Amino acid sequence: MLTDAVVRTVAPICDDLSPSRGSVLARRAALNEPPKGCGQTSYEPDPSVPRIVPGPRAGQDGGPLVLPDPMFQRLLERARTLGSPLRWVVIDDLYEEICELAISPWPRVTDGMLVFAEEERIDEEEVHMVGAIDQSTLWENARTARRAQYEGVPDAAELIDRPLQVGDTFAAALDYSVIESDAPVGGSRVEVTFRDGMDVTAEARLFTKVQVALANAPPLSREEIDPGDVTGG
């Protein structure tokens, strides 16, 4: 069994150790067994769980990424009400009391890949910003967001209180206050206030894997991999 300390540093590939509101949790609860992941020598897939996991999807009319979660629709509405466009916010670094955030616009989806900065934009590099927030403040924000997401889910307390780690990702409506107007990083270094958000770390990890794979090689068609057996164990 991995210790808590090790679990906190485990990197994205270990899905079964990642926070998720979807199939992993359901499967774990159903099987009433400890999570499988790193360190396991064998892995027997559960035939009841689909083996093709949807990657990033845009809405019906294409364009911005849409997450299949009622929370996401509620967050979109809330962001609209607040007048704060939704952002893709990732913990880039944790250092002493500071949490450095990589802040990007909410992505669009093109050919299965997330696109944050359109290539045609002259100010493309200004799209990605660096923000700073006090770790304890972000921790409270994250817990508030997760509480709304995970209430009633098995293992909710574990998910809500999971310590912050580099790579955690939030869909968030933010306020900025500039703390260094001519800072060389991002044009402006900003202090961030969360107005509303949700933890999308599990989705971000999955989409990152998809993005890496598509950068490595073009996708295959379903027929090419196994025309007769692609959905079950």
Partner 1 sequence: MAATDVPDDTLEQPASGSLVGAIKPNALVHVTVNVGDGDTQLVLLPADPNGRRRLIIVDAIRASKLEKLIDDLDQAGVLGVGGPLVEIVVATHPHTDHIRGVPRILTRYASSKPELWEPGYRHATGAYLDILGRVARHDLRRTVVSAGMARFIGQTRVAVLAPSVSLQQRFDSYGIDVNNSSVSLKLAYPATQVVRQATAMGVTHSVVDYDIGQSLILGADAQMLSWSHVLADFPQLGPRSTAVTKALRIAGGTAPLRAAIFKVPHHGSKHGLTLELIEAINPKVSIVSSVRGGGSYSFPHEVAMSQIREAVNPRAGKPAVPHDPDHKLILLYTGSTVTPSGTPAGSVCVICEPNGRREMWRLMDGASADIDLNQARMMK
Site membership for partner 1, residue 214 (CB under 8 A): yes
Site membership for partner 1, residue 52 (CB under 8 A): no
Pair 147, 160: CB distance under 8 Å: yes
Pair 136, 153: CB distance under 8 Å: no
Site membership for partner 1, residue 98 (CB under 8 A): yes
For residue 126, give the DSSP letter. Answer: G
Please provide residue 178's backbone torsions phi and psi, each rounded to the nearest 5 degrees.
-75, 125
Q: Which of 16, 105, 135, 156 binds partner 1 (CB under 8 A)?
A: 105
Question: Could you tell me how many residues of this chain bind partner 1 (CB under 8 A)?
Answer: 55
Which residue is it, tokens 């999807």? 57
- The Cα 122–Cα 181 span in angstroms is 21
Binding mask 146-185 for partner 1 (x = CB under 8 A): --------------------xx-x------------xxxx
> Among the candidate windows 77-85, 89-97, 155-163, 224-232, which touches partner 1 by CB under 8 A?
89-97
Site membership for partner 1, residue 9 (CB under 8 A): yes
User: For residue 137, what are the contacts with CB-CB under 8 A and spacing of at least 6?
Assistant: none
Residue number with CB closer to partner 1 (61 or 111):
111
Site membership for partner 1, residue 26 (CB under 8 A): no
Q: Render the burial of 122-132: b for 16+ CB within 10 Å, e for the rest.
A: eeeeeeebbbb
- The Cα 38–Cα 94 span in angstroms is 24
Site membership for partner 1, residue 90 (CB under 8 A): yes
Pair 53, 131: CB distance under 8 Å: no
Q: Which residues bind partner 1 (CB under 8 A)?
A: 6, 9-14, 38-39, 88, 90, 92-93, 95, 98, 100, 102-105, 107, 110-111, 113-117, 119, 124-125, 127-128, 130, 132, 166-167, 169, 182-186, 189, 201, 204-205, 207-209, 211-212, 214-216
